[in-house]
Amino acid sequence: PETGCLSIIVLGASGDLAKKKTFPALFNLFQQGFLQSSEVHIFGYARTKLSDDELRDRIRGYLSQGKGASSEHSEHLSKFLQLIKYVSGPYDGEEGFQLLNKEISQHEISKNSQEGSSRRLFYLALPPSVYPSVCKMIRHHCMNLSHLGGWTRIVVEKPFGKDLGTAEALSSQLGELFNEPQLYRIDHYLGKELVQNLLVLRFANRFFLPLWNRDNIDNIQIVFREDFGTEGRGGYFDEYGIIRDIIQNHLLQVLCLVAMEKPVSLKPEHIRDEKVKVLQSVLPIQMEETVLGQYEGYKNDATVSDDSNTPTFATVVLRIHNERWEGVPFILKAGKALNSRKAEIRVQFKDVPGDIFKCKKQGRNEFVIRLQPSEAMYMKLTVKKPGLDMSTIQSELDLSYKQRYQGVTIPEAYERLILDTIRGDQQHFVRRDELRAAWEIFTPLLHRIDDGEVKPLPYKQGSRGPVEADELLARAGYIQTHGY
Ligand code: BG6
């Protein structure tokens, strides 16, 4: 691993994302010894005027919640907070970034008493509207120019644009300032344990290799549900909607890993090459295979417009036009304010031909990968019902992580991904051509929604979403099994 001084600069340090995700992830890495006090310094930058201690207090407050009075935790936390400094300034003003650069350089000089390289990681926990100006400021005032080597890397959060045109414009702006290996586009679903497991599962297991295709699989669902609405984020959400918030990025990334061909190797570029091919093979979305919903009460939020046409729920069938998947619907479904919080992949197999047990009505073979909560994988299969009769029941082969890997802490997605950015591993980040292909799939549908041509159907909070979505699921071939 590289050594030398590491500066982590969190832009938007006083905001919600930084407080809830970025700083906690950095703290976890610190606790596990990945960020050494002798090398690392963390800088917060934002417009709000705060002292170093005021920022530290905010972070301490959030990180101490529910931790009781564990002295080990508070000792670690105090050491971690000492690494943090704060600089305030505007996102488009030179002085702020010049001052930031001065602070970083001072830290580098103090830490690099022995010769070592300087590493600068800029984390943009900011709204995308300021990406271009912030990136310009970083490029002009804050690059690592050390003759001893090192790097400057930029981490950006979604949403990357609002449609193909705006995303491409943003990519070009950033592309003029930084080259692709310097840019890390985060999609935090790629940092989830069971999403990272998908390649291993598919390509390291003989069980799956011959079955993972149109000859055996009837349909695949990738589902995201939340049991709360957009409270507190209505302003942001109303501009973007569920397709841009969840489906175009998180669920589509999962689809790529489920559907892609075996990469030449585990090199990030080989993996991302295969993902792009999947995206490029997706056929245009059909309106008959799309159901949009908006939960009742969504518009009561003062930050949401009264005539909002924004979907908070969508079910969309994607069809992949290639040899492996022709005819297999990939059903992507996401919704807010539903009956449960869950993200899972459901692979439903075709019926067994010549069913001598007459067990069809008990349900098909189904392989479920639950990404959250309670990570698990289970296979629904038919077995003989224990007892004297020769009758059958549906049962499960179940690998629940909590039971199987007791005592193992599953890392948070952000923690893993930030470590990757420090290590320079881009496998779990979205490449520019991937982003483009993802927008190409959804832009026509998004424009029809934005133009008011298609309207979301109302659904009750705490329900399964519009019934039309279940009807679409049935038309796509999904056969409901017990407990779903
Ligand atoms: C974010 C979305 O990207 O993912 C949120 O903007 C959503 O709307 C969140 O709540 C869900 O993340 P997770 O990891 O809780 O599934």
Q: How far is the CA of 246 from the centre of ligand 1 (A)?
A: 7
pLDDT per residue as tens digits for the range 92-118:
989 999 999 999 999 888 876 555 688
Question: In terms of Cα–Cα distance, which of 227, 225, 457 is closest to 335?
Answer: 225
pLDDT per residue as tens digits for the range 124-145:
999 988 999 999 999 999 998 8
Model confidence at 361, pLDDT cuts 50, 70, 90, reads: confident
Model confidence at 48, pLDDT cuts 50, 70, 90, reads: very high
Ligand 1 pocket mutation, candidates 158, 190, 236, 246, criterion most atoms within 8 A of CB? 246
Distance CA 329, CA 327 (A): 6
Distance CA 127, CA 325 (A): 37
Distance CA 8, CA 444 (A): 39
Query: pTM for the complete prediction?
Result: 0.95
DSSP string, 352-377: PSS-TT--GGG---EEEEEEESS-EE
The catalytic residue among 41, 107, 250, 428 is 250
Which of the residue ranges 46-60, 75-89, 469-483 would you say has the lowest mean pLDDT?
A: 469-483
Q: Atom 8, ligand 1: which residue's CA is nearest?
A: 245
pLDDT per residue as tens digits for the range 190-211:
999 999 999 999 999 999 999 9
Q: Atom 6, ligand 1: which residue's CA is nearest?
A: 245
Please determine, for residue 237, whether its predicted confidence score (pLDDT) is greater than 90: yes
Distance CA 76, CA 109 (A): 25
Question: Is 270 an active-site residue?
Answer: no
pLDDT at 232: 81
Which of the residue ranges 11-15, 61-65, 420-424 would you say has the lowest mean pLDDT?
A: 61-65
Q: Atom 5, ligand 1: which residue's CA is nearest?
A: 245
Q: How far is the CA of 147 from the centre of ligand 1 (A)?
A: 41
Catalogue the E-assigned strands of 89-162. Answer: 117-124, 150-157
pLDDT per residue as tens digits for the range 260-286:
999 999 999 999 999 999 999 999 999
Model confidence at 248, pLDDT cuts 50, 70, 90, reads: very high
Please determine, for residue 36, whether its predicted confidence score (pLDDT) is greater than 90: no
Task: Kindly report the number of other CB atoms within 10 A of residue 276's CB atom.
Answer: 20
- Tally the residues of the chain: 484
pLDDT at 108: 87
pLDDT per residue as tens digits for the range 289-341:
999 999 999 999 999 999 999 999 999 999 999 999 999 999 999 999 999 99
Average pLDDT, the chain: 93
pLDDT at 114: 54
> What ipTM was estimated for this complex?
0.96
Cα–Cα distances (Å) from 87 to 20, 52, 53, 375, in that order, read 20, 8, 12, 39
Strand partners, 378: 368, 398
SS3 64: helix
Distance CA 35, CA 30 (A): 5
No. of H helices and E strands in the chain? 15, 15
Q: What is the mean pLDDT of residues 85-95?
A: 94
Please determine, for residue 352, whether its predicted confidence score (pLDDT) is greater than 80: yes
Are the C-beta atoms of 148 and 115 separated by less than 8 Å? yes
Question: In terms of Cα–Cα distance, which of 456, 457, 459 is closest to 310?
Answer: 456
Please determine, for residue 11, whether its predicted confidence score (pLDDT) is greater than 90: yes
Q: What is the mean pLDDT of residues 376-393?
A: 94
Q: How far is the CA of 117 from the centre of ligand 1 (A)?
A: 36
Whose tokens are 């963390």? That residue is 42
Please determine, for residue 484, whether its predicted confidence score (pLDDT) is greater than 60: no
Please determine, for residue 69, whether its predicted confidence score (pLDDT) is greater than 90: no
Distance CA 201, CA 242 (A): 29
Name the percent of the chain lying above pLDDT 90. 84
Question: In terms of Cα–Cα distance, which of 430, 451, 10 is closest to 189?
Answer: 430
Q: How far is the CA of 169 from the centre of ligand 1 (A)?
A: 25
Please determine, for residue 1, whether its predicted confidence score (pLDDT) is greater than 70: no
Q: What ligand 1 atom has the least distance to the C-alpha of 230?
A: 8
Q: What is the mean pLDDT of residues 399-420?
A: 95
Please determine, for residue 483, whether its predicted confidence score (pLDDT) is greater than 60: no
Model confidence at 371, pLDDT cuts 50, 70, 90, reads: very high
pLDDT at 115: 59
Residues contacting ligand 1 via CB (< 6 Å): 226, 245, 343
